[in-house]
Amino acid sequence: MNNFQYSRASDVADAIRLLAADPGAKLIAGGTNLIDLMKENVERPSRLIDISRLPLRDIEETADGGLRIGALVPNSDLAYHPLIEQRYPLLASAILAGASAQLRNMASVGGNLMQRTRCPYFYDTTTPCNKRSPGAGCSAMDGLNRNHAILGTSTSCIATNPSDMSVALAALGALVHIARPSGQRTIALTDFHRLPEDKPHLDTNLGSGEIITAIELPPHGFARNYSYLKIRDRLSYAFALVSVAAALELEGNAIGEARLALGGVAHKPWRSLEAEAALRGQAATPDHFGRAADLLLQGATARSHNGFKIDLARRAIVRTLMQAASATPQSQAHKKIA
């Protein structure tokens, strides 16, 4: 880990001022990803601005019946919050599918959105990586790319976003509240992360000097028909090969509203409005779910080792939608797949 200066922000405005004063500075809250990357010399901040004591830990109901979640709420506190368990169990399930109990206790909601890819070449400073060093080249493209992206890739980068929480937030239509020197702005979670294109060093659309202050959930939580299914190489504490967040509004066996997002397959949570539209008004059957899966996976491409993910994703999507339709969501503790 490099030597760095340490500042403790007294409020959000102070954190923004400190960020503006030092272009090499980084914010730190839980630190679970940043400190790891600093130990690998992938991140070498000149200064850490400690925002962990800022008052951004509330979970409050909004006027329209949604929820506003402070950016510093620990992942575990969010997953176990009664309002999340009751009204947004898809989000609770996705959070509990990620990391370990210790890391969930430390990691903040805002930090979860800011976590970086676990592409091993990004972590290995002896190999070229366009995300780490723009223009250096991509070692994963023709390297060991079994875990890499199949959707939205570019010739520069095939890294995936590792977050489980973000997949559920994408499906639920969450918003991200951002503070910046000139005030505040709000963007959709699905617009927060970006595709790699020719700038894979940029994971998100958060501008320099901006800070995530809260996540907002819309009123509709899909608390009855939902499931989060995470497929990985070991049963717990591993990143997804493919994960699926599915949420349905059913009238009898007819689908009123459908939400579908994938994790582990792209540089951002992967959602397709076309696939969701194709489900509306249809019966909740494996055939219709398969058609939605095909639409969601449209344009999927594989490199040398990750072609299996396309078939795996298709099956996982159908399975997750079946779990959601039958109101038997995947349990994150009992690993049997219903």
Partner 1 sequence: MADLTIPERIPINLVVNGERRALEVVPWTTLLDALRDRLELTGTKKGCDHGQCGACTVLIDGRRVNSCLTLAVMKDGAEITTIEGLAKDGTLHPLQQAFIDHDAFQCGYCTPGQICSAAGLLAEGRARGADEIRELMSGNLCRCGAYPNIVAAIEQAMSRS
The residues that touch partner 1, with contacts defined as CB under 8 A, are: 1-6, 22, 24, 28, 31-32, 35-36, 38-39, 46-48, 50, 52, 76, 80, 99-103, 105-106, 235-237, 332-335
Q: What's the CA gap between 226 and 329, in Å, rounded?
A: 6
Q: Which CB, 38 or 214, lies closer to partner 1?
A: 38
Q: Which CB, 162 or 200, lies closer to partner 1?
A: 162
Contacts (Cβ under 8 Å, ≥6 apart) of 332:
93, 96, 97, 228, 230
Smallest gap from residue 145 Cβ to partner 1 (A): 22
Q: What's the CA gap between 261 and 284, in Å, rounded?
A: 17
Smallest gap from residue 125 Cβ to partner 1 (A): 15
Q: What's the CA gap between 283 and 159, in Å, rounded?
A: 36
Smallest gap from residue 290 Cβ to partner 1 (A): 30
Q: What's the CA gap between 330 and 268, in Å, rounded?
A: 23
Q: Which CB, 25 or 157, lies closer to partner 1?
A: 25
Q: Is the CB of residue 152 less than 8 Å from the CB of residue 268? A: yes
Q: Which CB, 89 or 152, lies closer to partner 1?
A: 89
Q: Which CB, 14 or 36, lies closer to partner 1?
A: 36
Contacts (Cβ under 8 Å, ≥6 apart) of 241:
147, 231, 232, 233, 264, 309, 312
CB-side exposure of 24: number of CA atoms within 13 Å? 10
Smallest gap from residue 232 Cβ to partner 1 (A): 11
Smallest gap from residue 331 Cβ to partner 1 (A): 8
